[in-house]
Structure 1
Amino acid sequence: MDKQVSHKLQPFLSEVNRLIAQAKADNIIPTPEMVRTNLDNLAQFNTRIPEISYSRDKLIPGQQAEVPVRVYSPAPDEHLPVVIYFHGGGHMCGSVDLYDAMCRKLALAGHSIVISVDYPLAPEHPFPEGIHACWSVLSHYREILTEVAFTPELIIAGDSAGGSICTVLAMQNQVEKKVNINKQILIYPCVDYTMAMPSITDNGRGYLLEREKIAWYFDHYFQQGENRKHYSPLHGLITRDLPQTLIFTAEFDPLRDEGLAYIKALEQAGVEVSHHHFDEMIHAFINIEDLVPEECQLLYQKAGQFIRG
C-alpha cells in the first residue's frame, strides 16, 4: 500500500497548493521579503508557547557584526548542558522570534539551556557570512551565559537550513578542532546542495516545500559560483570524529533522501547515529504544530531524551 500524507495535513496542503497555483497564474515573482512573510505566517499554526523560567536576548561578538541570540533556561541555577539552535528557512528566512516556541519546547524537553541564533540571512548576507557568524557563536557563547549555570557539554541543533549549518560546522570542526561538539540534532536537514536526490523530484511539488523554491533559495545563498557539491556536507569529509547524531526525517519531504544518505554515510564512518522517520509528515512540520501536535510532541520527546542521555 502506498504511503499517504497525514489526513491532518491535507486541508492545509490543499490551501497552500491553491495559493501557489494562483501566484503562478498571476505571474508573481517571489522576493525575499515575500517569502519571509510567508514563512512567518506559519506562526498562526504554532500557538502553544510554554512558560520558561529564563529567556533573554543577548549579543555575541562576530567577525563583521554582533550576532543576536536568545538564551533559554528552564532552571537558571542548575548546571545544564548547552544546545545551540540554528533555525530553518532556506538560509533566507526565519528568525529567533519565529522559533521562540520551538526553542522553549526543546529547552524544556531536554532540561537544557538553548541558545537560539539570529544568524545573517541571504541574499543580503550570502554564503559564507552566516557560517562565520555561527562560528562566532560557538566560539563565544560562554561569555553571554552570565546569568545561568551551565556544564561544558555542547550540543548543536537545527532544522532544514539550520541542520545544514550544524553539519557544516561539525564537518569543519573535524579538521580545525575549534570547539568540542558533543552531539548534534538534525531535523530534516539540508545536506546536499546539488539537488540530485530522487526525493527532490518525488516530493518536489504539493508538499509545502517545492523543488523550485529550494533552487531559488540556493541561488540566493551561493552568489559567487561556488562548487555546491564541494560545500555539501553529504559529499564532504565524514569521519568518526563527527559528534553523536540524532536525525529526524519525513516521508513527504524533498530533503528526505539526502537525510537518509547522510545517516548511512555517518554509520559507515563509525559515528553513533539515532534516527526517527515520520511516515506521514512533510518538511517544516514543527512550524505547524497545531495541525500535528502528537508528531511534534514525539519529536521533542526524542530530542529531549537524546540531550539528557
Structure 2
Amino acid sequence: MKLDPDARAAADLLKELLPLPIHRMGLAGAREFFGGRATEGTPPSVHEVSDHVVPRVDAEIPVRLYRPGPGSGLPVLVYLHGGGWTLGGIDRVDALCRTLASRARCLVVSVGYRLAPEHKFPTPPHDCHAALAWVASHAAELGADARRIAIGGDSAGANLATAVCLLARDRGGPRPVFQLLAYPAMEYAVRRPSWTEYADGPLLTSDDVVWFWEQYLRDEADRANPLAVPATAPSLRGLPPAFVITAEYDPIRDDGEHFARRLREDGVECAAKRYPGVFHGFFPQVGVFARADEAVADAAGHLRRAFGTARP
C-alpha cells in the first residue's frame, strides 16, 4: 500500500491509538474515541461564523453558517458531515467548511442532523432536507441566493446529500444546483474489488461499513429504499450535476466510482477523481493531508463553475 507520507504517518498513529476496529468498539466506545478528534492545527479564518437552528416538529436541528465576506446574494453549499450516520458533528468539519467557504466564495451551512441509532433512517435525510428548505426560505436574511444552493458531504454525509436531491426531485421543494460527494456510501456492502482489497482499512474496514449500516437502517427493507441506499434508485435522471471524490485505499472506493458511472449513464453530468495515496476520511483533513488540500481546491473549482462564479 503506497500511502502518501502524511497519510502513512496518520495510518501508523491510528494503529497505535485505535484500540479495536470501530465495529468492535461499540457505539459508546467509538463516540468517545472520535468525539474529540477534530482536524489538527489552527482553523482557517473567515469573515463570520454564526450558529442557528432549523425548527422541526419534534426537534431543533443546529446549523453553522460560514460567511466568506460581506455582501448578499451569495451562493450556498449545504454541507453534511460524515461518520457513518452515528458519529461526528459540526465541529469535526469546521476547518473544512471554513476552507470551502473561502475557496468557493460561497456561504457554507453545516448541518448537525440527528444521529443513528437513536434516530435511524429516515430521520437523518429528512433533517437534512429540512435544512435545505430552511436555507432557501431564509435566503434574504442570510444574504444567500436561493437559486444557487448546492449540497454536499463526505461518506455518510454524501449519502444524505444524494438522498436530499432525490427527495427534492420526487417530492418538491428547493432543488440543489450541484452535489459534492466525497467517498459516498451509496450501496449496501457490494463486494467490489476495493471492498475485499482494503477490507482491513486503514481506519475504515469492510466490517465497520456493515456495522454502520446496521446502526442506520431499521430493517432489511430499508436496503431497497433509494433514500437510504441511493444506488437502488431505478433512475438517477434529473439529479443535479456532481463531483465524486474517492480515496485509493478505501473499501467503499468502488462504490463511489460505480455511482458516478450510474449518474453519467442516467444523463447526469458527473466528474469523478480518485486521489492516490490516501484512505477513507481524508477529505476534511485540510492542512494535514496534502491530498485533502488538493481535493478541496478541486471541489471549490467545481462549486464555482456550478454557481457561475468561476474566473476566466
Q: Give TM-score, length-normalised by structure 2.
A: 0.89
Could you tell me which of 261, 272, 282 is aligned with 1:275?
Answer: 272
Equivalent residue, structure 2, for 1:130: 124
Equivalent residue, structure 2, for 1:13: 11
Distance 1:277 1:48, change over 3 A: farther
Equivalent residue, structure 1, for 2:200: 205
Name the amino acid aligned to 1:84. V
Q: Residue by residue, what CA displacement relative to the aligned partner does 1:214-248 show, whole Å, maximum 9, x if unpaired?
A: 11111111133434143321121333311010111
Deviation at residue 144 of structure 1 after TM alignment: 4.6
- Answer whether contact 1:193 1:229 (CA < 8 A) is retained: no
The percent of aligned pairs where both chains have the same amino acid is 29
Structure 2: stretches of 5+ with no match in the other structure: 306-312
Provide the C-alpha distance between the structure 1 equivalents of 2:180 and 2:131, rounded to a whole number of angstroms.
Answer: 17
Quick check: 1:301 aligned with 2:297? yes
Provide the C-alpha distance between the structure 2 equivalents of 1:259 and 1:229, rounded to a whole number of angstroms.
Answer: 18
Structure 1: stretches of 5+ with no match in the other structure: none
- Answer whether contact 1:171 1:237 (CA < 8 A) is retained: no
- Answer whether contact 1:192 1:229 (CA < 8 A) is retained: no
Distance 1:29 1:259, change over 3 A: closer
- Map 1:35-184 to 2 at 5 A: 35-43=30-38, 45-145=39-139, 147-151=141-145, 152-184=147-179
Name the amino acid aligned to 1:95. G
Name the amino acid aligned to 1:7. P
- Answer whether contact 1:39 1:89 (CA < 8 A) is retained: no
- Answer whether contact 1:46 1:287 (CA < 8 A) is retained: no
Could you tell me which of 1, 4, 8 is aligned with 2:2?
Answer: 4
Two-structure CA RMSD over aligned residues (Å): 2.0
- Answer whether contact 2:61 2:111 (CA < 8 A) is retained: yes
Quick check: 1:255 aligned with 2:252? yes
The secondary structure found in structure 1 opposite 2:92 is: coil
The secondary structure found in structure 1 opposite 2:6 is: coil
Provide the C-alpha distance between the structure 1 equivalents of 2:79 and 2:239, rounded to a whole number of angstroms.
Answer: 18
Deviation at residue 143 of structure 1 after TM alignment: 4.5
Deviation at residue 258 of structure 1 after TM alignment: 0.8
Name the amino acid aligned to 1:307. L
Q: Out of 194-203 and 266-275, give the one that drifted further.
A: 194-203
- Map 1:285-300 to 2 at 5 A: 285-292=282-289, 294-300=290-296
The secondary structure found in structure 1 opposite 2:256 is: helix
- Answer whether contact 2:201 2:250 (CA < 8 A) is retained: no
Name the amino acid aligned to 2:295. L
Q: Residue by residue, what CA displacement relative to the aligned partner does 1:81-119 show, whole Å, maximum 9, x if unpaired?
A: 011000000000111111111111111110000000000
The secondary structure found in structure 2 opposite 1:248 is: strand
Quick check: 1:23 aligned with 2:20? yes
Deviation at residue 254 of structure 1 after TM alignment: 1.0
The secondary structure found in structure 1 opposite 2:273 is: strand
Q: Give TM-score, length-normalised by structure 1.
A: 0.90
Equivalent pairs counted in the alignment come to: 301
Provide the C-alpha distance between the structure 2 equivalents of 1:170 and 1:119, rounded to a whole number of angstroms.
Answer: 16
Provide the C-alpha distance between the structure 2 equivalents of 1:143 and 1:240, rounded to a whole number of angstroms.
Answer: 26
Deviation at residue 206 of structure 1 after TM alignment: 3.4
- Answer whether contact 1:107 1:113 (CA < 8 A) is retained: yes
Name the amino acid aligned to 2:206. R
